[in-house]
């Protein structure tokens, strides 16, 4: 890493920072254009900047590790993001360019993707949402097919950029980790409430299905035009998304697909992004008003009960049939006995 440039960053994070306040990164060769986002709790500010020599736009993500309550986790997030991004080479994941450090501050330079985030208020129709879903799933397939598969752990509208052609870009690898590695204690439960899969909340092992839950939650936000911070309004007490009534326009097939993405039990979710992508590709998004569709959707939750009922009925019928077969020779014997009894009685009657 080409870090540790002797840079004079004189600003401090004291009190609230005025939005038009831009740090001077000229010693490192960058000039800030505007702010893209800030996370004061985590001590991070992200800027759009340009490389002074080439005038090329870049993103500078600044981690403040002094005067915050998140010092140590801030350093960890910074190191993790660099470590993961350096391994990746995908056209829709910003490339790692460089980094520089100064006591109390770390700065990460990333390729700029000219696309607004889904955190901004934008409306998409169901067909467009399907296209975005496929585009994000392709990135997840890439991450999951690495020699050491990567779990992003913070998929949500704010960390997904979508351009005018509906290509999605995935940013913010500050919580990402390699699957099968132990989560370090500082980030044990570190995702965003509402988007975090239940297994993460419970401290269970994360799998390739974990990011699918967060993606499903993100898509529900898009369909229902719900802001990330309001996602709790869509979740019931059993940690289930109560979205069926909110999405009247989509087909039952697509609704079932989405339902499987956000299954609280990860074993009932699609196993990984590749399976979810293949399942989604042929699905029509807009609901037809065919009765059959509604019937399939209505029957789906009761499928197990219906199967159980049919099995029980089959067992009862089998037991009845066996009873009838077994009882028939006995009946014949009884009738012979009655006949014999009648024969014995008859002579005495004639006397």
Ligand X SMILES: Nc1ncnc2c1ncn2[C@@H]1O[C@H](COP(=O)(O)OP(=O)(O)O)[C@@H](O)[C@H]1O
List the catalytic residues.
Answer: 154
Binding to Mg ion, residues 167-226 (CB under 5 A)? 172
The DSSP H or E segment spanning 300 is none
Q: Residue 143 and residue 155: Cα distance in Å, rounded?
A: 13
Select from 182, 132, 137, 190 the least CA-distant residue to 161.
132
CB-nearer residue toward Mg ion: 68 or 251: 68
Q: How far is the CB of 193 from ligand X (least distance, A)?
A: 15
Q: How far is the CB of 59 from ligand X (least distance, A)?
A: 4
CB-nearer residue toward ligand X: 42 or 149: 42
Q: Does 46 bind Mg ion (CB under 5 A)?
A: no
CB-nearer residue toward ligand X: 70 or 250: 70
Select from 59, 201, 109, 89 the least CA-distant residue to 150.
89
Distances in Å between the Cα of 13 and the Cα atoms of 46, 59, 67, 134 are: 14, 20, 7, 40
Determine which residue in the list 159, 192, 228, 252 makes contact with Mg ion, applying CB under 5 A: 159
Q: Residue 235 and residue 217: Cα distance in Å, rounded?
A: 10
Q: Residues in the site for ligand X, rule: CB under 6 A?
A: 36-37, 39, 42, 44, 46, 59, 61, 94, 110-113, 117, 119, 158-159, 161, 171-172, 174
Q: Do the Cβ atoms of 210 and 147 come closer than 8 Å?
A: no
CB-nearer residue toward ligand X: 37 or 264: 37
Residue nearest ligand X, CB atom distance: 37
Q: Do the Cβ atoms of 273 and 212 come closer than 8 Å?
A: yes
Q: How far is the CB of 14 from Mg ion (least distance, A)?
A: 24
- Binding residues vs Mg ion (CB under 5 A): 159, 172
């Amino acid at each position: 890493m080409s870090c540790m440039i002797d840079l004079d960053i004189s600003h401090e994070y004291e009190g609230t920072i005025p939005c038009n306040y831009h740090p001077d990164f000229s010693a490192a060769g960058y000039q800030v254009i505007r702010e893209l986002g800030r996370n004061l709790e985590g001590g991070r500010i992200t800027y759009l900047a340009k490389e002074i020599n080439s005038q090329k736009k870049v993103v500078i993500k600044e981690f403040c590790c002094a005067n915050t309550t998140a010092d140590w986790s801030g350093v960890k997030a910074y190191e993790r993001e660099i470590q993961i991004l350096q391994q990746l080479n995908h056209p829709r994941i910003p490339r790692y360019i460089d980094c520089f450090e100064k006591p109390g501050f770390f700065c990460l330079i990333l390729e700029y993707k000219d696309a607004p985030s889904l955190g901004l208020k934008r409306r998409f129709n169901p067909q467009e949402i399907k296209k975005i879903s496929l585009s994000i799933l392709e990135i997840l397939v890439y991450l999951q097919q690495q020699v050491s598969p990567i779990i992003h752990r913070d998929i949500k509208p704010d960390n997904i950029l979508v351009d005018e052609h509906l290509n999605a870009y995935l940013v913010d690898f500050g919580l990402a980790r390699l699957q099968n590695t132990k989560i370090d204690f500082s980030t044990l439960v570190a995702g965003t409430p509402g988007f975090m899969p239940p297994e993460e909340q419970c401290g269970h092992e994360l799998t390739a299905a974990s990011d699918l839950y967060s993606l499903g939650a993100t898509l529900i936000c898009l369909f229902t035009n719900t802001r990330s911070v309001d996602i709790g309004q869509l979740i019931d007490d059993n940690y289930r998304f109560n979205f069926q009534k909110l999405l009247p326009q989509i087909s039952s097939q697509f609704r079932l697909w989405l339902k499987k993405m956000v299954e609280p039990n990860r074993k009932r979710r699609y196993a990984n992004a590749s399976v979810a992508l293949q399942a989604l590709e042929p699905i029509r998004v807009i609901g037809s008003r065919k009765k059959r569709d509604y019937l399939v959707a209505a029957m789906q939750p009761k499928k197990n009960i219906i199967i159980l009922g049919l099995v029980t009925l089959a067992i009862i019928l089998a037991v009845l049939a066996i009873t009838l077969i077994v009882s028939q020779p006995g009946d014949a014997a009884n009738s012979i006995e009655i006949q014999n009894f009648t024969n014995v009685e008859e002579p005495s009657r004639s006397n």
